[in-house]
Amino acid sequence: MAQYTDLLLKITEARKVVVPPEKEREIYTKLLVSEKRQIHEAFVLKIYVAWELLVENVFIECLYRDPSGYAQHKMLALPAKLTRDICRGLISGLGYFDFRNTGDLKGKAKKALVDRFNPFAVLPREATDRIDEFYVIRNYLAHYSDSSRQSLAAMYRQKYNVPFREPGKFFFEYDAHHKQIRFANYTNAFLKAADEMALFLNV
C-alpha cells in the first residue's frame, strides 16, 4: 500500500512536461486532470486488494499464534500449534477469505481469535469508517452496476452531503478539515490501520 501511495503522490505532484506549444493547453489539461483521475481510480482496486491480502495474512498469523479461539468457536479439538498453511486452510475453506466491511471483519476476528492476538479489535473508528467508504467506491469501480452506483451516491449524500460524481473527481476535492485531498484521507486510513495492528502485535 505504501508503494502505491508513494507512486500516486509523485503523479499528483507532477506539474510540467515538455509538449508542443500549440497543444500545450490541451495536453496539460488532459494530463493534469483527466489522466490523474483515471490513474487514481485504477489504483483503488490495487490498494483494496493489498488491504485484503494484509488482513488475510494478519488473520493467519494470529491464528497461528493461538488457534484456541477458533477451536472453541468451531467446537473442534485442534492441536495447540498449527502450521500457517493449515491456518490458511481453516479460514479459507473451499473458497477464499472474505469480509463485507470492517464490522464484518471484526466480528469474524472476535469469534476466531483470542483477545491477545486480535489486532482487528483495536482498529480506530476513523480509519475503519474511511476503509468502509473506500470499499463502496471500490465496488462501484469494479462493477459500474446500478446498485453499486446507488450505494456510492448514498454514501456521498450521507457522509459528505454532495451529489453523485465519479470517484476520480471526488478524490481530488480538498478536505479543509484534514488539509489534503480526499484520496489522501483514504490511503492514510489504511496506513493507520496497518500501523495499529503492527503496534498491537509488537511487530
Instruction: Give tens-digit pLDDT for 62-92.
Output: 999 999 999 999 999 999 999 999 999 999 8
What percent of the chain is modeled with pLDDT above 70? 90
Residue 77 domain boundaries: 2-201
Average pLDDT over residues 101-110: 96
CB 108 within 8 A of CB 63: no
The structure's pTM equals 0.86
What lies within 8 Å, CB to CB, of 189 at 6+ separation is 126, 127, 128, 129, 130, 131, 134
Residues in the chain: 203
pLDDT at 11: 73
Distance CA 19, CA 26 (A): 10
pLDDT > 90: percent of the chain: 77
Grid coordinates given for 122? 483495536
State pLDDT tens for residues 157-170.
Answer: 999 999 999 999 99
Total domains in the chain come to: 1
- Of 29, 13, 43, 52, residue with least CA distance to 193: 52
Report the pLDDT averaged over residues 46-67.
Answer: 97
- pLDDT score recorded for residue 2: 82
